[in-house]
A = this chain, B = another copy of it.
Amino acid sequence: MAIPVETFFLKPDAQGTLQAQIQQMIAEGILSGRLRRGEKLPSSRKLAAHLGVSRITVTLAYTELQASDYLAVRDRSGYFVSENAPEPLPEPELPAAAEAVDWDMALSRQITSSVVPGRPSDWARYRYPFVYGQADPALFDHAHWRLCAIQALGQKDFTALTTDYYDQDDPELVEFILRHSLPRRGIMARPEEVLVTMGAQNALWLAAQVLLGPGRRAVMENPSYPPLKDTLAQIDCDVTAVDVDAEGLPPAALPEACNVIFTTPSHQCPTSATMPRPRREALLAAARARNALVVEDDYEFEMSFLSPPSPALKSLDGDGRVIYVGSFSKVLFPGLRLGYLVGPEPFIRQARALRANVLRHPPGHIQRTAAYFLRLGHYDAQIKRMSRLLAERRAVMQAALLDHGLTIAGSGTFGGSSFWMKAPEGVDMEQVRQHLQADSVLIESGDRFFTGAQAPRNHYRLAYSSIPSDRIAEGVARIAQAITDASA
Could you tell me which A residues sit within 8 Å of B by CB distance? 4, 6-9, 12, 32, 34, 50, 91-92, 94-104, 106-113, 115-117, 121, 124, 133-135, 137, 140, 142, 145-146, 149-150, 153-155, 158-168, 178-180, 183-184, 186, 188, 190, 198-199, 201-202, 205, 209-213, 216, 227, 230-231, 234, 259, 277, 288, 291, 293, 308, 311, 315-321, 333-337, 344-347, 350, 352-354, 356-366, 380
The 4 A-B pairs of least Cβ separation, nearest first, read A162-B333, A108-B213, A164-B334, A7-B183
Question: What chain B residues lie within 8 Å of A350 (beta carbons)?
Answer: 107, 109-111
Whether A115 contacts B357 by the Cβ 8 Å rule is yes
Asked whether A155 and B167 contact (CB < 8 A) given A108-B210, A135-B162, A337-B361, the answer is: no
Whether A360 contacts B146 by the Cβ 8 Å rule is no
Whether B107 contacts A210 by the Cβ 8 Å rule is yes
| Minimum CB distance partner of A369 in chain B | B365
Whether A359 contacts B179 by the Cβ 8 Å rule is no
Whether B108 contacts A356 by the Cβ 8 Å rule is no
Min CB distance A21 to B, Å, is 14
| Minimum CB distance partner of A93 in chain B | B188
Whether B97 contacts A319 by the Cβ 8 Å rule is yes
Question: What chain B residues lie within 8 Å of A133 (beta carbons)?
Answer: 164
Question: What chain B residues lie within 8 Å of A112 (beta carbons)?
Answer: 353
| Minimum CB distance partner of A197 in chain B | B359
Asked whether A353 and B210 contact (CB < 8 A) given A137-B158, A163-B334, A335-B164, the answer is: no
Question: What chain B residues lie within 8 Å of A184 (beta carbons)?
Answer: 4, 6-7
A-B contact pairs, 16 of them (CB 8 A): A8-B183, A12-B311, A92-B190, A97-B318, A97-B319, A100-B321, A101-B291, A113-B353, A113-B356, A113-B357, A115-B357, A121-B166, A133-B164, A150-B150, A199-B360, A335-B364
Bound CA–CA A94/B345 (angstroms):
10
Question: What chain B residues lie within 8 Å of A108 (beta carbons)?
Answer: 209-213, 216
Bound CA–CA A106/B345 (angstroms):
13
Bound CA–CA A209/B154 (angstroms):
38
Min CB distance A28 to B, Å, is 8
Question: What chain B residues lie within 8 Å of A315 (beta carbons)?
Answer: 9
Question: What chain B residues lie within 8 Å of A145 (beta carbons)?
Answer: 153
Question: What chain B residues lie within 8 Å of A334 (beta carbons)?
Answer: 162-164
Bound CA–CA A230/B354 (angstroms):
10
Asked whether A344 and B101 contact (CB < 8 A) given A113-B353, A363-B363, the answer is: yes
| Minimum CB distance partner of A214 in chain B | B108
Whether A321 contacts B110 by the Cβ 8 Å rule is no
Min CB distance A298 to B, Å, is 14
Whether A162 contacts B335 by the Cβ 8 Å rule is yes
Question: What chain B residues lie within 8 Å of A91 (beta carbons)?
Answer: 190
Min CB distance A100 to B, Å, is 4
Whether A358 contacts B142 by the Cβ 8 Å rule is no
